[in-house]
């Protein structure tokens, strides 16, 4: 009996889960002060009230539970979100270059954050996440409204074009504001490059619910994403309510991405590189691609963050630069090895 439906096999699931947990533990161990893995396990276990786990005392417990774990978890959650949103957009728009920022999330968030930063007061500083979240949601809403009223019938193309227009417009406004507040340029710039420098668990608590809902929705729609691969017209004649599903998926992806971006700034590349690397490894079927993107995106960003904070320690490299620097060659490597493999 040959394989029937493409699904994530039990083996793959175990391998990816183990890899995820191992990566998370490794990332907590490594840093300015190294902590042994056993201590990490005990500390996390004790905080999660797992029986027979003993409490780690002193600095190490603070390092593990207050400093590193929240940051690592945040990296994982944000990576999951960006990768699965990227994969979903590539599917619904049938565009391999689509990423989570396709419809203007990044430009909207950037504008919102810039507003909050230049306003200057302490209150507005705390409002950076809120402002960028609202900016991101607003930008996508604008893109969607413009794209819908655009060319009739060619919705996906007009949405992408509207996204480009909105992103450019908002970026222009952001640059204008930035130029008028020279003293804040550094701060804006560092937000744009993205950072996972967290303040304990509060960021995770803020982002995780949105990401959980979003990735769950995208996961639920994974089969339907395969139907999009024959194009809007054929998908419609196959019985798929194309516009409705696309709208649902956009709302889900936008909600999670906006929440992620509002806390970490603009981390590029994850949404393109992780899904494409996985495509080369496991194929284009979304039933496999979406779950693996959720796990793989998390692993990828945890690793990238580990490099960001250790490679040039004590200086921290902006995470967005790391994702681009390790992402691009990694991607080319997989592309190359896959090609030679396919010829054999």
Partner 1 sequence: MTTLNIAELSVSIDGRNLVNDVSFSLSVGQWLCIIGPNGAGKSTMLKAIAGICKSTGRMVIDDNDLRQLNERERACWIAYVPQEPILPTGMRVFDYVLLGRTAHLNLLASESTKDLEVAEMVLTELALEDFRDRDVATLSGGERQRVTIARALAQASPFILLDEPTTALDVGYQQEVLELIDRLRREQKIAVITTMHDLTVSGLYPDRLMLLSDGRVVSDGPASEVLTVTNINEHYGAEVQIIDNDGRPIVVPIRTVQK
**Using the rule CB under 8 A, which residue among 13, 130, 185, 240 binds partner 1?**
240
| Binds partner 1 (CB under 8 A): choice among 126, 238, 313, 335 | 238
Q: Least distance in Å: CB of 246 to partner 1?
A: 12
Total residues interacting with partner 1, rule: CB under 8 A: 31
* Helix axis angle, 105-119 to 155-180, nearest 10°: 20
Whether the CB-CB separation of 43 and 55 falls below 8 Å is answered with: yes
User: Is residue 182 at the binding interface for partner 1, with CB under 8 A as the rule?
Assistant: no
Nearer to partner 1 among residue 95 and residue 236 (C-beta): 236
Dist. CA 195–CA 23, nearest whole Å: 19
Question: Does position 95 bind partner 1 by CB under 8 A?
Answer: no
Q: Which tokens go with 47?
A: 């905080």
**Buried b vs exposed e over 111-124: b needs ≥16 C-beta within 10 Å?**
bbbbbbbbeeeeee
- The kind and range of the H/E element at 78 are helix 69-92
Residues 265-284 that bind partner 1 (CB under 8 A): 279, 283-284
Q: Give the whole-angstrom CA distance, residue 233 versus residue 56.
A: 60
CB of 162 to partner 1, least distance (A): 21
Tokens, residue 279: 């495509």
Selected from 229, 307, 324, 334, the binder of partner 1 by CB under 8 A is 229
DSSP-derived secondary structure letter, 93: T
- Regarding 230 and contact with partner 1 (CB under 8 A), the answer is yes
Nearer to partner 1, 8 or 72 (CB): 8
Least distance (Å) from partner 1 to the CB of residue 226?
Answer: 7
What residues numbered 185-224 form the site for partner 1, per CB under 8 A?
Answer: 220-221, 223-224
Helices H / strands E in the chain, number of each: 16, 0
Contact 195, 265 (CB under 8 A): yes
Task: Give how far the C-alpha of residue 1 lies from the chain's centroid of Cα atoms, to the nearest Å.
Answer: 38
Supply the minimum distance, in Å, between the C-beta of residue 125 and partner 1. Answer: 42
**Residue written as token pair 């954050």:** 113
Q: How far is the CB of 15 from partner 1 (least distance, A)?
A: 21
Cis omega (within 30 of 0) for bond into 224:
no
Q: Rule CB under 8 A: is residue 236 a binding residue for partner 1?
A: yes
Footprint of partner 1 on 60-89 (CB under 8 A): none
Is 166:104 a contact under the CB 8 Å cutoff? yes
Nearest-CA neighbor of 94 among 221, 225, 224? 225
Q: Pattern 131-170, binding to partner 1, x per CB under 8 A?
A: ---------------------xx-----------------
**Residue 227 binds to partner 1 (criterion: CB under 8 A):** yes
**Cα distance between residue 188 and residue 203, in whole Å:** 19
The interface region with partner 1, picked from 128-136, 161-169, 203-211, 233-241 by CB under 8 A, is 233-241
Q: How far is the CB of 56 from partner 1 (least distance, A)?
A: 44
Our CB check for partner 1 shows the closer of 90 and 132 to be 90
d(Cα 90, Cα 253) in Å, to the nearest integer? 12
Shortest distance (Å) from residue 337 CB to partner 1: 17
Cα dist. 61→24, 26, 34, 43, 279 in Å? Answer: 16, 16, 12, 6, 39
Q: Which is nearer to partner 1, 2 or 122 (CB)?
A: 2
Residues near partner 1 (CB under 8 A) = 2-6, 152-153, 220-221, 223-224, 226-227, 229-231, 233-242, 245, 279, 283-285
């Amino acid at each position: 009996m040959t394989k029937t439906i493409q699904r994530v096999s039990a083996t793959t699931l175990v391998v990816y889960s183990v890899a995820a947990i191992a990566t998370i533990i490794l990332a907590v161990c490594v840093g300015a002060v190294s902590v042994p893995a056993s201590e990490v396990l005990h500390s996390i276990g004790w905080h999660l009230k797992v029986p027979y786990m003993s409490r780690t005392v002193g600095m190490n417990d603070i390092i593990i539970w207050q400093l590193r774990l929240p940051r690592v978890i945040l990296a994982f959650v944000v990576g999951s979100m960006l990768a699965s949103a990227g994969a979903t957009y590539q599917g619904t728009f049938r565009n391999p270059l689509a990423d989570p920022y396709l419809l203007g999330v990044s430009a909207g968030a950037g504008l919102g954050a810039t507003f909050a930063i230049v306003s200057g007061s302490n209150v507005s500083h705390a409002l950076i996440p809120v402002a960028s979240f609202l900016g991101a949601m607003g930008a996508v809403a604008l893109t969607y409204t413009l794209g819908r009223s655009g060319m009739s019938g060619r919705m996906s193309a007009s949405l992408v074009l509207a996204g480009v227009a909105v992103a450019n417009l908002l970026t222009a406004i952001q640059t204008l504001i930035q130029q008028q507040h020279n003293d804040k340029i550094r701060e804006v710039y560092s937000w744009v490059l993205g950072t996972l420098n967290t303040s304990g668990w509060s960021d995770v608590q803020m982002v995780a619910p949105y990401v959980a809902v979003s990735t769950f929705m995208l996961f639920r729609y994974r089969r339907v994403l395969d139907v999009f691969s024959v194009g809007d017209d054929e998908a419609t004649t196959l019985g798929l309510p194309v516009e409705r599903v696309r709208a649902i998926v956009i709302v889900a992806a936008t909600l999670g991405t906006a929440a992620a971006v509002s806390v970490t700034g603009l981390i590029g590349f994850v949404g393109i590189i992780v899904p494409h690397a996985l495509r080369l490894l496991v194929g284009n079927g979304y039933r496999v691609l979406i779950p693996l993107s959720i796990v793989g995106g998390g692993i990828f960003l945890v690793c990238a963050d580990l490099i960001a904070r250790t490679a040039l320690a004590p200086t921290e490299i902006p995470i967005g630069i790391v994702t681009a620097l390790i992402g691009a060659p990694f991607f080319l490597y997989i592309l190359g090895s896959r090609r030679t493999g396919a010829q054999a």
